[in-house]
């Protein structure tokens, strides 16, 4: 089983539930030396390495290989699944954990601009986004990518 640090649309538990058909346990976490950006023309964010910055998010626990295949397909070619070290923030003392995170594959992409705001995204885009996630999952299941024939 793996863990995955999420920092954008996957902070919305309903997005995770649709993608994974469940809501895995999670913990608030911080990823240091990365920065979260808005992607011009998209409703989702990207992270890239940047010294002295940090990204707040959460870690999803108990992620199976089939879950990772769904997430890999969902994140598509724009992201690389990378191993990162995050600080879990749910205890009195932060605890470090190695986890996967989806890092933007083009760190010099001119579409990266400004900060991405989860609360703003929820207000403006969550309903439309949930529809597209449901469509993605239906297409994923129909394609046989999930190992079920």
CA distances from 78 to 9, 28, 47 (A): 15, 25, 11
The answer to whether 140 touches 19, Cβ cutoff 8 Å, is no
From 12, 70, 5, 60, select the one nearest 36 (Cα to Cα): 5
135 carries an active-site annotation: no
H or E stretch at 95: strand 95-104
146: exposed, middle or buried (C-beta count within 10 Å: 0-12, 13-18, 19+)? middle
From the candidates 75, 115, 128, 139, give the one annotated as an active-site residue: 75
Q: Which residues contact 22 (CB under 8 A, 6 or more apart)?
A: none
Q: Which residues are catalytic?
A: 75
């Amino acid at each position: 089983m793996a863990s995955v640090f999420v920092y954008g649309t996957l902070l919305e538990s309903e997005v995770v539930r649709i993608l994974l058909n469940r809501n895995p346990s999670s913990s608030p976490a911080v990823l240091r030396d990365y920065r979260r950006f808005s992607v011009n023309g998209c409703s989702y964010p990207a992270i890239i390495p940047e010294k002295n910055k940090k990204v707040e998010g959460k870690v999803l626990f108990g992620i199976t290989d089939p879950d990772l295949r769904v997430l890999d397909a969902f994140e598509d070619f724009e992201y690389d699944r990378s191993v990162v070290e995050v600080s879990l923030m749910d205890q009195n003392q932060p605890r470090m954990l190695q986890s996967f995170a989806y890092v933007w594959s083009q760190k010099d992409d001119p579409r990266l601009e400004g900060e991405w705001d989860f609360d703003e995204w929820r207000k403006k885009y969550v309903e439309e986004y949930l529809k597209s996630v449901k469509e993605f999952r239906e297409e994923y299941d129909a394609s046989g990518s999930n190992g079920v024939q």
